[in-house]
A and B are shown apart, each in its own frame.
Chain A
Amino acid sequence: MPITKINIGPVHPSTHGVLRLAVYLDGDTIERVEPHIGFLHRGVEKLAETRMYMQNHPYMEKLDYIAPMAYDEAYVSTVEKALGIEVKERAMYIRVILLELQRIASHLFFVGTIGNDLGQMFTLFMWTYMDRDKVLDLLQEATGSRMFYVNMRLGGLVSDLPPDFEKRTLETLEYIDNRVKEYEAFIEKNPVFHERMKNIGILTPEKAMDLGVTGPVLRASGVQYDVRKNSPYYIYDKLHFEMKILTRGDNFSRYKMRLLEMRESIRLIREAFKMMPEGDALGMPVKLRMPPTKNKEVWISREAPKGELMMYMVADDQKPYRLAIRSPNFVNLSAIVHMSKGLRLADLFATLGTLDLVMGCVDK
């Protein structure tokens, strides 16, 4: 049969943004996939070189608009490390709580979109979106904004948590915990879901390492790497949580990984609230002039919801000389080239969906 080339995207229902895939099909089986990225390229790395440290701050969140808090925190931490600023202890706890809430929100979004990618009529998407909204309500209470928070400041946060935040968060977490069970029942009691997800898009541990995938995708393949465990930052070494590992490395375990991580995040937040000390959590007010830099070259790694987010910065006096961002989505998307051979056309989108892409983060 001759090879058919079809173009999927840049505007397509299930490419999660402006991604164009040139798919070479042999019948219904995929011969080759060429992702064409860069439609959302905004040159953030170049832009960062022209602005002062804190002027760059709001740009970073626009990269991953599903989990902006992770970028917010990662950038501020990079600057803190470059300037040698200590983070206040209470602020560490609050940051961890907000980051984990953001992780829950991001994973809820993932669970919804996987329903769409498998051709379900938006039901799962609406359910998880509703619950994600509850988490966003919490983040709004804590930061004043629903989507782009710009909440971190050097050494702390822009404001402490509002009163009663703990009570409301714990209530919401209780609710989310129950809902996750419901999703699990709703999704996994459906035999079609198992058929569509199991043993498809398999990444063995060796292949996963070779392709450089990160985060839940890597852990679903059985590789034990979680930045929160392997090189703990903030208070992650004091908190008790498990690094969940699944071994099959197929679409199903990548989906399951997110549900397990949501549970762990809920556990983490509960524990962090118990251990949280009283005190001051406010960071430095935003100023253009910064104290002189101590470290010329810094890089940090963070476990963002999508995977390992690394920021590398060469510090100049008042602005970054060079800011390089290792976005987890970029490398996860690059893996689809090698994962897609021999898949069915319908499975390509299931596999693409389990990589949990945000095109803003891929293109930077």
Chain B
Amino acid sequence: MINSIIQSFESMLNSGNILYNIAALLVYAIMIFIMLAVFGYMFGWIERKIIAKAQYRHGPTYVGKYGILQNFADLVKLFAKGSLDLDNADSLLYGTALPILISLTIFVVLILPIFPSIQATNLSFGLLLVLVVVAFMPIMIFLSGFASGNKFADISAQRSILMLLSYEIPLMLVIVAIGLVSKGYNLQSIIAMQSNSYYILLMPIGFFVFFIAMLAEIERPPFDLMEADSELIAGWITDMSPAYYALVLFLDYSKVLMSSLLISILFLGGWLGPQPIPGVAWLIIKAIIIAVIAVIIRATTFRMRIDRILRMGWMILIPLSLINLIITYIVFVG
């Protein structure tokens, strides 16, 4: 039955009728949104449990079995709270930056090839589009922090732009290397090219650089300078209303999903894997492994300082990604 649904869906997407295409795309987008929400919810629970384990705690146990409903209870609490009217805020920019940020995240997941057969659109420049949209995210954070009129948010916004300079270039250089190997930026063909050997084996340096730059991109520790609680209280979300804060949490988790999906597609072969398990499951398993590594890093490491991140970006990541690019060129092209 599922197969027949997928098949009819596929035929809708590929049929020439534009109305059918739009309808199918909408359904797909809603599906992705639900998937993100469910994953975000589950990931929130997993993260709390893992961090609790690292800290000799139990984590949430009270609401629901194994505390699985704790995040839902938190969500209810957040939505039950009153909202703040900010005097200094530019309300239009402040109100729209966060929804745009979330829709950007959903858009990225939308164009990633999650299912072997279904994809919203199979662009020849899919990977480049993903990178462009991802690069917009810190700018939206900057706008949101800048518009809130809070000094802490302002400093956090400045930090997000400063950090952008350090990790965006290595990210691009690694992408170029991937493009060289797979002779194009089509995401489907990138996965297909990995059927012999995953790119993590072909370019381990590239994987390392990409992973670190991606951590910085999605503001996970040790690069969570925008939300540095020891100095900036909560950074760009300091003055957010509780309902908006719930959206920030959703954004946080969906960005983790987005980046771990991207890493597993680019370096771990996406849905490729031994047959009996379906491809989607392989992709999700790989993504969860990447996300859990990010959580363990979060539980153990200290936060870096802004000038150190810049130094690391320019002195370590960019040379490493250049080396990666040169090696890739010599081995696969030259």
Q: Which A residues form the contact surface with B (CB < 8 A)?
A: 4, 6, 8, 12-14, 25, 28, 115-123, 126-127, 130, 186, 190, 192-193, 195-196, 344-349
Query: B57 touching A126 by the CB < 8 A rule?
Result: yes
Query: A119 touching B306 by the CB < 8 A rule?
Result: no
- The 8 Å CB contact of B306, one of A6, A28, A115, A348, is A28
Residues in A whose Cβ lies below 8 Å from that of B303: 118-120, 192, 196, 346
Query: A120 touching B301 by the CB < 8 A rule?
Result: yes
Query: A130 touching B222 by the CB < 8 A rule?
Result: no
Q: Given contacts A120-B300, A121-B299, A126-B55, are A13 and B305 in contact (CB under 8 A)?
A: no
Residues in B whose Cβ lies below 8 Å from that of A196: 302-305, 308
* Minimum CB–CB distance for A179 against chain B, Å: 12
* Minimum CB–CB distance for B296 against chain A, Å: 10
Residues in B whose Cβ lies below 8 Å from that of A25: 155
- The 8 Å CB contact of B231, one of A122, A126, A195, A348, is A348
- Please, how many angstroms separate the alpha-carbon atoms of A186 and B151 in the complex? 35
Interface centre among B158, B159, B298, B302 (most CB of A within 10 A): B302
Q: How large is the interface on B (under 10, 10 to 19, 20 to 34, 35 or more residues)?
A: 20 to 34
- Please, how many angstroms separate the alpha-carbon atoms of A242 and B128 in the complex? 62
- The A-contacting residues of B in range 147-164, CB under 8 angstroms, are 151-152, 155, 158-159
| B307 to chain A: closest residue by CB | A344
Interface centre among A4, A120, A190 (most CB of B within 10 A): A120
Query: A14 touching B305 by the CB < 8 A rule?
Result: no
Query: B306 touching A126 by the CB < 8 A rule?
Result: no
- Please, how many angstroms separate the alpha-carbon atoms of A190 and B159 in the complex? 23
The 8 lowest CB-CB distance pairs between A and B, nearest first, are: A119-B303, A126-B55, A14-B230, A118-B302, A192-B302, A349-B230, A6-B151, A120-B302
* Minimum CB–CB distance for A84 against chain B, Å: 49
Residues in B whose Cβ lies below 8 Å from that of A4: 151, 155
Q: Given contacts A4-B151, A116-B230, are A123 and B307 in contact (CB under 8 A)?
A: no
Query: B233 touching A13 by the CB < 8 A rule?
Result: yes
- Please, how many angstroms separate the alpha-carbon atoms of A192 and B224 in the complex? 13
Residues in B whose Cβ lies below 8 Å from that of A8: 231
Q: Given contacts A119-B224, A195-B308, are A130 and B230 in contact (CB under 8 A)?
A: no
Residues in B whose Cβ lies below 8 Å from that of A122: 55
Query: B304 touching A192 by the CB < 8 A rule?
Result: yes
Query: What mask results when residues 158 to 175 of chain B are scored 1 for a CB within 8 Å of chain A, else 0?
Result: 110000000000000000
Q: Which DSSP category, helix, strand, loop or mixed, fits chain B's interface?
A: helix
Q: Given contacts A119-B221, A121-B221, are A14 and B304 in contact (CB under 8 A)?
A: no
Residues in A whose Cβ lies below 8 Å from that of B225: 346
Q: Given contacts A121-B221, A121-B298, A126-B56, are A349 and B304 in contact (CB under 8 A)?
A: no
In the assembled complex, B130 has its CB within 8 A of some CB on chain A? no
Query: B230 touching A119 by the CB < 8 A rule?
Result: yes
Q: Given contacts A190-B302, A346-B305, are A118 and B230 in contact (CB under 8 A)?
A: yes
- What are 22 A-B pairs at a CB distance below 8 A? A4-B155, A6-B151, A13-B229, A28-B306, A117-B230, A118-B302, A118-B303, A119-B224, A121-B299, A126-B57, A127-B55, A190-B301, A192-B301, A192-B302, A192-B304, A195-B305, A196-B308, A344-B307, A346-B225, A346-B303, A346-B306, A347-B305
| A126 to chain B: closest residue by CB | B55
Residues in B whose Cβ lies below 8 Å from that of A123: 51, 54-55, 299-300
* Minimum CB–CB distance for B272 against chain A, Å: 34
In the assembled complex, B228 has its CB within 8 A of some CB on chain A? yes
Query: B230 touching A346 by the CB < 8 A rule?
Result: yes
Q: Given contacts A13-B230, A190-B301, are A344 and B306 in contact (CB under 8 A)?
A: yes
- Please, how many angstroms separate the alpha-carbon atoms of A117 and B151 in the complex? 20
| A349 to chain B: closest residue by CB | B230
